[in-house]
Amino acid sequence: MQLASRFINFYINSSVHVALAVCSLVCITFIECNININYPFLIFVFFATITGYSFVKYFELVKRNYTDLTNELKSILLFSALSFIVLISFSLFLTYRALISFVAMAMITIFYTTPFLSKPFFFSNIKTLRTIKGIKIYVIAFVWTVVTVIIPLINEKYAMVQDVILIVLQRYLFVLVITLPFEIRDMNFDDISLSTIPQKLGLRLTKCLGIILLIIIVLMNFFKTLTFPCQRYSLALIITVVSALLVYSKKVQSKYYSSFFVESVPILWLILILLCDFFS
């Protein structure tokens, strides 16, 4: 039992779970645009996500306590270093434009946790993107949307047509909504100056906003020129699941509520699409 618990903790804390979620959204993009799945690209995204999230989660911790790291954290850092080596290797399979786009997202990731605004220029305390008032959730949604929709299509040299614009908007709103349970969980820990959505609107209005955004996502499907029944049915099911997870989100959550179950939503979405397609 203890071994299983340690494995699950490593699986989540090393960002393997979130990497699978990101790759699932990339696969959904390929399916929605009727493109063959590019597996080298997926491998690159998988290890890039592990590297990026490990940097975001552990950079400050390692910087403050680099002489007193736990064995688990050392294992995660080693795994992250190996992941970085793999992503560099698989970068050879990306187009020049896709690679440049990933570098841009990497810079945003670095600035998310690393101070870059200082007094001489901005007359404020040194800040990271994460600490700028009110933009944290929007930065996350932007990066996820670019990585899971725009860059895959750039890499495949896919034309940016009407359906792509709708997919981009849907994905952005979708990531915003599935991030809300994390924002709700962190209400008691986030500095009030961050001005997160739950801090500004409160718990009830935040959930109402999330439900409205989910309805908008569903309505956008009616404006697409090319969509298949499997995609519509799976989207309806996943929107129902997300609605339930959002409604039952609390300030005090179980250990794995957001970090496992909410982050499993993209994986479940991909499974639903594949199952629906298999049985249709």
Nearest to 150 by CA among 21, 19, 26: 26
Give the C-alpha separation, 268 to 97, whole Å: 30
Give the predicted TM-score (pTM) of the model. Answer: 0.93
Element (H, E) at 16: helix 16-32
Q: State how far Cα 33 lies from the chain centre.
A: 20
Range of 76's domain?
2-279
The tens place of each residue's pLDDT in the chain, 280 residues long, gives: 677 888 899 999 999 999 999 999 999 999 999 999 999 999 999 999 999 999 888 877 777 776 677 888 889 999 999 999 999 999 999 999 999 999 999 999 888 887 765 554 444 455 677 778 888 899 999 999 999 999 999 999 998 788 999 999 999 999 999 999 999 998 888 878 788 899 999 999 999 999 999 999 999 998 888 777 888 889 999 999 999 999 999 998 998 999 999 999 999 999 999 998 888 7
Number of separate domains in the chain? 1
In order of 140, 164, 226, 234, 255, the CA distances from 223 in angstroms are 26, 11, 9, 17, 39
Token pair, residue 220, equals: 């956008």
